[in-house]
Amino acid sequence: MTEKHLSYSRRLAEWFSALDYTALPADVVDNTRLRILDIIGLTLAGSHLSYGQITLNTALAIGDVLTARF
């Protein structure tokens, strides 16, 4: 990875870590909640398909939430 990409990643991570939830507009929070519910629904729907099983097996091979930190 180039220095430019690392710098951008670091700036983005710093911005997210300093983000104050209470400062976010209510419509942004509500819209984000809907997007998360969408992702959960699509994940559940796809879990019964072959590529859903492949994705699940890959995630399990990486490890649980405590060991799959990057």
For residue range 24-67, list pLDDT tens digits in order: 999 999 999 999 989 888 888 887 888 888 877 887 787 766 66
User: What's the average model confidence in pLDDT over 21-26?
Assistant: 91
- Measured on CA atoms in the order 29, 27, 17, 6, is the torsion positive or negative? positive
pLDDT of residue 70: 46
CA distance 58 to 41: 20
The full set of domain ranges for the chain reads 22-70
The answer to whether the CB of 47 falls within 8 A of the CB of 56 is: yes
pLDDT of residue 34: 93
pLDDT of residue 3: 61
pLDDT surpasses 60 at 68: no
